[in-house]
Structure 1
Amino acid sequence: MVSDLLLPDSGAWNTSLIRHLFPNSVASAILSFERPLRNIDDFVYWKYTRDGSFLTKTAYTGFLIQHFNLLHSSPASWCWKRFWGLPILPKWKMLAWKVLYSSLPVADLLKLKGIPINSTCVFCHVSSESVGYLFRDCPLSRHLWDSFSWESLPKPEAPLSFLVSFSAVISRYVTTKNWSALDRFFGICWAIWLTRNSVRFRSTVYSPDSILHIARDWWDKSGKARDFSDSLNDIPLGFSYPFVSQVLRGNPNVPDIVIMHFDGAWDQGNYNAGIGWCFWDTSSFQSIGGGARACMAASALHSELQACLFGLRHALQSFCLFYGAWHQGNYSAATYGSWFY
């Protein structure tokens, strides 16, 4: 019993007894567990929920985590933590997610779910259509991959399982920041998927050249989207915002005296928001004031605007407004104004 490892008076761990009974690694793990503040009976605790109660959906989540543990134990696992912020088309990110978590509706998966469908590959009409076969092992897919000179760059290889190969290729390109190669890789995958859908659902006539044309068109779109910097409107998720300035009042050639930064955070569940702002002296690069408060907001943008509003009110009370400009940074909105006493 766990209670046998506790000191009867204080309820703390009996360190000497634990180190006597268990190896050092196990003893250290036991001693690292935090003890309850009061004496309570032992109970079953489910680690996948905050309150320790068992839920079926958390059991399914735990199964998925174990099933796809390879993705998290990969040497380049840090790449996946920022995968959704990569400078590639959002369509491709969704495709990769569905491939890696076996949710792409290929014929094999649909048949497994009880949907009456012909699971034969629409390209070769020989083998069943699985994710690996569609994107790599089909003769047509192999021809498409071999149509380009990859040199030392990785491409999906047959000796490895497709999921391992797929994740390894993406991880390699992300690690080296080879965005053009990543465009080419996803362009071919996306062209295969689009053509497969056209053939299966609309009986479209295709050729290897037509698929390659689709692939080139899409990776060209991804490259142009990444280089796009003329407008703030409709920039795809994962691409950086250009830095622009617009004068709202006063002379833009007057050097800045004080800069104001602001930020807001919003809880969608209860509409609570927290906002803050600070002022920086441009001559000394030191903070000269600021503020924060809790409030209610209808959206994340609303919280940002409230932070700006209260910051400007603070500035009007503390400084005499001289001129202001709006700036949009790469990852967060920031405004600055020049003020004098």
Structure 2
Amino acid sequence: MELPSESKEDYLYWKHHQSGRYSVKTGYYFLCKDQVIDNFSFSTKSENFTKIIWRLNILPKWKIVLWKLIHDGLAVKVNLTHRGIAINAMCDFCELDMEDSQHLFRFYSLAKAVWENSPMTFCHDMTGFPSLRSWIQHFILLFYSEDGKHSARITRLIATLWGLWLARNKRIFNRDEITIATTTELVNIALKEHEVFTGGTTDKSSTRAGIGWATSGHNQSHTFDGGGRYGTASSALHCETWACLEAIKWVIYQGKEEVLILSDSALLLENLRSERGHDISIVWMIEDIRTKAAHLRICIISKVKRDQVQQANDIAKKCRCTLSNLVL
């Protein structure tokens, strides 16, 4: 650090970052770079895995649970006993083994049955994984390399982990009777409430427009659900905003409570972040989006690349060209 050319008051600075300012991000970077946290090795493979997790287009609560899983931070009974809580650490389901993460999500009979009946058709009972983290990391990286960043198998893998966790909590806290069917239903509900992607197209020589929205079925057949409309729009932004509003209405009509909406319009997000919107032509649509979204427990609208919303754009184009509404 250079010395000032004249007398200045002393001040505190964070020497481990060029900005001199401490933040959670720079502090975490320092720890990851110079120390070992919980004996976790930050290899290149692990770093890639971590980046993939945070880039996935999944609900934030899924990311948090997944992050806790790979760091063995979920409140399973064995972890609670390690924290000094005096409880019986035996599994509530089988009452034969201790309830740790490996047992709960992989080894006990109900978990095995759920994985075996999953449409992913992968070898879930492969040996050689000393921890649940290594098992999850192996398959997420495998699916990512084979399917790409929009892998339906990654989404279903995480949804299944989420469903098993919900089933466990219903058993412990509500004393519900949990079966393979009820657990599978929890997984399917999670997938249905996952994401909707929207798109819109306009004819530059006229005001004719089409909008579309779709939700991936997250299965091997890549089926879709959604709809589309035709009408008029003054601009591409107008069209994208209309698509977002209609998608939220559709989500509510379907009885969903949580949704992640994907759009390739950065301008739409800028207007949503503004108190009343930057563009006067869509100000009332923006207000309607906020009003409708308030009826949902969780509604997140995220900017993605155009190829991620191609299905919705195809629906929009079809509606515009055929002058017809579409319900999938």
TM-score normalized by the length of structure 2: 0.52
Deviation by residue 1:104-142 (Cα, 9 ceiling, x = unmatched): 111122222222322211111122211122111223222
Q: Which residue of 2 aligns with 1:241?
A: 263
Q: Is the 8 A contact 1:88 1:222 kept in 2?
A: yes
Q: Which residue of 1 aligns with 2:166?
A: 194
Correspondence 1:1-341 to 2 at 5 A: 47=16, 51=20, 58=27, 62=31, 66-67=36-37, 72-75=42-45, 77-78=47-48, 80-148=50-118, 150-151=120-121, 153=122, 155=124, 157-160=126-129, 161-175=131-145, 176-177=147-148, 179-222=151-194, 225-226=215-216, 231-233=243-245, 239-241=261-263, 301-302=273-274, 330-331=303-304
Higher relative contact order (CA 8 A, sep 6+): 2
When residues 216 and 264 of structure 1 are mapped into structure 2, their CA distance, relative to the original with a 3 A threshold, is closer
Q: Distance in 1 between matches of 2:304 and 2:119?
A: 36
Percent identical residues? 18
Q: Distance in 1 between matches of 2:42 and 2:18?
A: 20
Q: Distance in 2 between matches of 1:115 and 1:189?
A: 25
Moved over 6 A (4+): 235-238, 261-265
Q: Distance in 1 between matches of 2:187 and 2:49?
A: 24
Q: Distance in 2 between matches of 1:216 and 1:129?
A: 25
Q: Distance in 1 between matches of 2:176 and 2:36?
A: 40
Deviation by residue 1:43-93 (Cα, 9 ceiling, x = unmatched): xx963796599x9x9599827972368574243733532533423333322
List alignment gaps of at least 5 residues for structure 2: 5-13, 196-213, 217-223, 229-242, 252-257, 281-300, 306-328
Q: Is the 8 A contact 1:229 1:242 kept in 2?
A: no
Q: Distance in 2 between matches of 1:229 and 1:77?
A: 39
Q: CA deviation at 1:220?
A: 3.9
| 1:112 alignment partner AA | H
Q: Which residue of 1 aligns with 2:239?
A: none
SS at match of 1:75: helix
When residues 168 and 200 of structure 1 are mapped into structure 2, their CA distance, relative to the original with a 3 A threshold, is same
Q: Is the 8 A contact 1:85 1:239 kept in 2?
A: no
For these two proteins, the number of residue pairs brought into alignment is 224
SS at match of 1:67: coil
Bigger helix share: 2
Q: CA deviation at 1:194?
A: 0.7
